Amino acid sequence: MIRTYRALLVAQLQAVSQYRVQSVLWMLLEIIRPVIFLAAWVAVANSQGGQIGAYDVRDFAGYYISLTLVLQLVFSWNAYDFEYEVRLGRLSPKLVRPLHPIHYAVVENFVWKVTTFIPLVICLAVVILTFDARFRTTPAHLLLFVPSVLLGAAISFLSGWVLATTAFWTTRVHAVSTLWDRGLFIFAGMIAPLALLPGPLQAIALVLPFGYMLGVPAEILRGGIDVPTALLLMVGQAIWVVFFYIAFHRVWRAGVRQYSAVGA
Amino acid sequence: MTEAVVDVRELRKTFRVTEREEGLAATLRSFVKRHRKDVNAVAGITFRIDPGEVVGFLGPNGAGKTTTLKILSGLLHPSGGEARVLEYVPWRRENAYLRRMTLLMGNRSQLVWDIPAADSFRVLQEIYRVPEEQFRSTVAELTDLLELAELMHKPVRNLSLGERMKVEFAAGLIHSPAVAFLDEPTIGLDVSMQARIRRFVAEYNRRTGATVLLTSHYMDDVVALCKRVIVIHHGRLLYDGPLADLAERMAPYKIITATLHDGAAASENLDGYGTVVSREERRVMLRVDRQVAPERTARLVNDLGGRLADISVEDPPIEEVIDRVFTSEQTTVRA
């Protein structure tokens, strides 16, 4: 399997190298939204004496910069690609090969993250300097951040595949994935840090998977939560990984039986 | 009896499709209530294919050919019946099975468009776990047979349709499959490229002994490659036997073509010899019942005497036979 991954990695790197400018543009597009939220929260905080809850202007900057980095490391776009592949019949050649189609997506995600990481870090460095971002990160936070961001990526990737697999029944999953994105927008810590959500929304966010994808690793990276709380939230992340792993296997098995190989 | 490579028994596949009438009212009604209908794409077909056979799988559009190939390659689950390919149940999609078969669809690409074919081949080598030595010799052989040397290092998106098809063929065969399902492998190709692909399939079958099940709307493909054909229509098997016998069994007539010296064929009354199907200035074609063809030919030679420049007696063109099979929908014939 390692040799297969190496070959897929080389091929994907070659494919991506053909579209370097496009990759950077996508990356820039991804960081625009959190930076807009950062600017908005900074404006609101300044209008209220520089502080909202436990966050001052520099904390907001630290949070949204962490969130942008986490978003880049965690986010996967499987549902969109998968629908496209099912609808145009491009999934069929993959299904008749002795390699589960999920492995291609793992490599595509990994290569996308690797190739856009350095330009992203440069952009974020500029934002850090511009907003004088504050991080309360300790070595313990950094240590916890690595497994936390991996768990967040696993939730994002597997939940994306569960959604994508519904294309076996519906052929189109765009509406479902858009609904999912709206959930992400509200409950993942994008519109506001989870700690600043109104009480009922915060309670809902704690039982939904979205915050465990983005908000939790972002707060750990910023050092915004203490280590015991971080560990507790990481248990929540692990539970969601197991949930989506089992869900994916079940939905995939049923979906493949349902597959009608349209357009192929 | 040889162990069958492909063994299909009473295979069925039913698709549930949504139907609605045209127009605004029907469209609005369809938001609330949908009419669904079961379509029997494959309605209980049975056949077996022995090792090394090249079998043509014929039928009009919607006959169930591609659905059958998709079931046999593991893409689709059947609604009923049984199938074994190389002793495996295809739709379980065990890796051991997938490593020994290939499905090539003429209208579908399995290569990564943005990288050269040579790099895609390397990926396939690892996916199919082809040992390095075998990989090198297979690529060399495929490069030779398909004349790929010039194409291997160009991004696939820069290749012409014909060039891409050749490369697709090589990609599908990189793991030296024991069974190849070829669905319209020459579709969209020019005549010379079609001929080249045909030569390649024949040569590949000869060299490797691979079993091939081929669908094609180009009868030239079938005539060049398949001694045996399976004909299906509306998901049912109509004929399974030698291609050579298809005309005899399904079209009980011969075509006599008489060419005259004096250019009078256009006006000559030949109705007494058979049904005139076409006339040109010097040539006339007659459809004659198979049993009486020798006698009618002899009479024609005798009656026309020195005016006759040439005469031939042939089976009707295979396209005509197939068309006759589809339009008459005769009951199953097994040779």
Please count the residues of chain A.
264
Report yes or no: A214 and A71 within 8 Å, Cβ to Cβ. yes
Please state whether beta strands B179-183 and B211-215 pair in parallel, antiparallel, or not at all (unpaired): parallel
Least Cα distance to B63 among B187, B231, B223 occurs for B231
Average pLDDT value over all residues in chain B: 84
Burial class of residue A188 in the structure, from the number of CB atoms within 10 Å of its CB (0-12 exposed, 13-18 middle, 19+ buried) = buried
pLDDT at res. A144: 96
Q: Say if A192 falls within a structural domain.
A: yes
pLDDT at res. B265: 55
Contact B119 A11 (CB under 8 A): yes
Mean pLDDT along residues A4-30:
80
Least confident range of A63-67, B82-86, B106-110:
B106-110
Q: Say if A202 falls within a structural domain.
A: yes
Least Cα distance to B174 among A92, A97, A3, A90 occurs for A97
Chain A CB contacts of B102 under 8 Å are 96
Least Cα distance to B92 among B75, B107, B104, B105 occurs for B75
pLDDT grade, residue B266 (50/70/90)? low
Q: Give the residue with greater pLDDT, A89 vs B308.
A: B308
- The answer on pLDDT for B219 being more than 80 is no
Chain B CB contacts of A13 under 8 Å are none
Mean pLDDT along residues A23-45:
82
- From A106's Cα to the closest Cα of chain B, the distance in A is 15
pLDDT at res. B24: 72
- From A31's Cα to the closest Cα of chain B, the distance in A is 27
- Using DSSP's 3-state secondary structure scheme, residue A151 falls into helix
Give residue-wise pLDDT tens across range B159-172. 888 788 888 888 88
- The answer on pLDDT for B294 being more than 80 is yes
Q: Which regions of B59-174 does DSSP assign to beta strands (E)?
A: 80-85, 101-105
What's the rounded Cα separation, in Å, for the pair A7 and A192?
Answer: 41
Give residue-wise pLDDT tens across range B101-136. 999 887 667 787 788 888 889 999 999 999 999 999
pLDDT at res. B247: 74
Tokens of A81: 């690609």
Chain A CB contacts of B156 under 8 Å are none
Q: Say if A70 falls within a structural domain.
A: yes
Domain count within chain A: 1
pLDDT at res. B101: 94
Taking the model in full, what pTM does it have?
Answer: 0.79
pLDDT at res. A171: 65
Residue of A6, A92, A97 to mutate, testing the B interface (most B Cβ within 10 Å of its Cβ): A97
Residue of B14, B127, B132, B135 to mutate, testing the A interface (most A Cβ within 10 Å of its Cβ): B127
Give the domain range for residue A198. 2-258
Chain A CB contacts of B115 under 8 Å are 11, 14-15, 18
Mean pLDDT along residues A222-246:
95
Q: In A, what residues contact B, Cβ < 8 A? A: 3-4, 6-8, 10-11, 14-15, 18-19, 89-90, 92-99, 256-257, 259-261, 264
Least confident range of A63-72, A146-155, A232-241, B10-19:
B10-19
Question: CB A100: neighbour CB atoms within 10 A?
Answer: 14
Q: Give the residue with greater pLDDT, A97 vs B3.
A: A97
Report yes or no: A167 and A86 within 8 Å, Cβ to Cβ. yes
Report yes or no: A261 and A94 within 8 Å, Cβ to Cβ. no
Residue of B114, B174, B183 to mutate, testing the A interface (most A Cβ within 10 Å of its Cβ): B114
Contact A18 B75 (CB under 8 A): no
What's the rounded Cα separation, in Å, for the pair A145 and A156?
Answer: 16
pLDDT grade, residue B98 (50/70/90)? very high
**Chain A / chain B CB contacts < 8 angstroms:** 82
What's the rounded Cα separation, in Å, for the pair A228 and A232?
Answer: 6
Q: Which domains does chain B have, with CATH numbers?
A: 6-244 (3.40.50.300), 252-314 (3.30.70)
Contacts of A139 (CB under 8 A, 6+ apart): none
Nearest chain A residue to B14 by CA distance is A260
Please state whether beta strands A55-56 and B275-279 pair in parallel, antiparallel, or not at all (unpaired): unpaired
| Predicted complex ipTM exceeds 0.90 | no
Torsion of CA B83, B86, B88, B92, to 10 degrees: -80
Contacts of B258 (CB under 8 A, 6+ apart): B265, B270, B283, B284, B286, B300, B304, B308, B310, B311
- The answer on pLDDT for B50 being more than 90 is yes
- The answer on pLDDT for B22 being more than 90 is no
Q: Say if A263 falls within a structural domain.
A: no
Burial class of residue B271 in the structure, from the number of CB atoms within 10 Å of its CB (0-12 exposed, 13-18 middle, 19+ buried) = exposed
Nearest chain A residue to B74 by CA distance is A96
Q: Say if A8 falls within a structural domain.
A: yes
Please state whether beta strands B54-58 and B211-215 pair in parallel, antiparallel, or not at all (unpaired): parallel
Least Cα distance to B18 among B8, B29, B9, B4 occurs for B29
Give residue-wise pLDDT tens across range A164-218. 888 777 767 777 788 888 888 889 888 888 888 888 888 999 999 999 999 999 9
pLDDT grade, residue B99 (50/70/90)? very high
Q: Say if A177 falls within a structural domain.
A: yes
Average pLDDT value over all residues in chain A: 86
Burial class of residue B97 in the structure, from the number of CB atoms within 10 Å of its CB (0-12 exposed, 13-18 middle, 19+ buried) = buried
Q: Say if A264 falls within a structural domain.
A: no
Please count the residues of chain B.
335
pLDDT at res. B334: 52
Q: Say if A189 falls within a structural domain.
A: yes
